[in-house]
Amino acid sequence: MTSMKSAKAVPVLMYHHVSPATKGLASSPANFVSQMRWLARHGWRTLSGEQLQGFLRDGLPVPAKSVVLTFDDGYLDNWQYAHPVLKEHGFSAIMFLVTGWVGQGPARPCATYKEIVENRVAAFEAWGHAECKQWVEQGQVDRVIVRQSEVDAMRDAGTFEFHSHTHSHVRWDLVSADVSAKREGLLRDLMSSRNFFEAHMGGATSQLCWPQGYFDQDYLDIANQSGFASLYTTDSRGLNRAAGGCSHIYRVAVRNRGGWQFGQRVILGASPLLGGLYNRLKS
């Protein structure tokens, strides 16, 4: 019996929206279908956060064609459009929740896979990324962010697992008077997020995605103090290698790419040779 060929590097892909409103950080539902079909047709599998952590921290083997899908902020369109596509293909993704934004109430409708494929998407409100941010700033968070009932439905379906994007999404380095205030604010924020996970998600998470991708040494210190081990960045210029550590996880922004272009970027993220050359040329 031959042993499984293990990945040398794992691409981690960064989404925000899957939405007909493709302005900004969004993939259209049709392109998201194309992307997931590309993965399925070429034999790729999605990893959980725990599997990625084991690969990066301990060098535990994962299949050669492994990829991680991540979604930032917890937008409602992830439930409406990404969830049914992931379910159809048997894939899973990570959603990084801003826990202070998660609302209550019954689960809202989501599209069916058939509706998405036939471009008969239900008449949901569709907002671009900038508009979603405005709704949040105006206090109308529930209009654009998932509810706990929708989180529970996605967890039950196995399409998404959930980790921390802090409790408030505040950049404490920008709003604090000094370093001490910055560290105290971030600590409160991360502990509030941790408390939410313990109360609503069955236990705390050790995985954190930095708001706006920003971190410094104080941020790293407080995250470690708060029990976070896997730290996701918005930095794409590097490779997530076996036993390379999980305190700086590189992610590639997908945007609104079709399946073929998407696939080429996935291949680069899995190849130390090609990906390394690509990153050097980008620098």
Q: Stretch 206-229: mean pLDDT, rounded? A: 97
Q: Provide DSSP, 219-262.
A: HHHHHHHTT--EEE-S--SS--BTTS-SSSB--EE--S--HHHH
Q: Stretch 136-149: mean pLDDT, rounded? A: 97
Residue 274 lies in a domain: yes
SS3 at position 182: helix
User: Which residues are CB-contacts of 280 (< 8 A; sequence separation ≥ 6)?
Assistant: none
Specify whether the CB–CB gap between 39 and 92 falls below 8 A. no
Residue 256 lies in a domain: yes
User: Which residues are CB-contacts of 138 (< 8 A; sequence separation ≥ 6)?
Assistant: none
Residue 1 lies in a domain: no
Q: Stretch 134-154: mean pLDDT, rounded? A: 98
- We report the CATH number of the domain holding residue 223 as 3.20.20.370
Angle, CA 210 vertex, CA 257 and CA 179 arms, to 5°? 150
- What is the tally of structural domains in the chain? 1
Q: What is the pLDDT of residue 255?
A: 85
Give the count of beta carbons closer than 10 Å to the beta carbon of residue 193. 25
* pLDDT above 50 (res 2): no
Residue 4 lies in a domain: no
Question: Per-residue confidence at 174, pLDDT binned at 50, 70, 90?
Answer: very high
pLDDT in tens, 224-273: 999 999 999 999 999 999 999 999 999 999 989 999 999 999 999 999 88
Specify whether the CB–CB gap between 272 and 250 falls below 8 A. no
Domain with 244, as residue range(s), is: 12-282
Residue 6 lies in a domain: no
Amino acid at 148: Q
Q: What is the pLDDT of residue 3?
A: 52
* pLDDT above 90 (res 135): yes
Residue 205 lies in a domain: yes
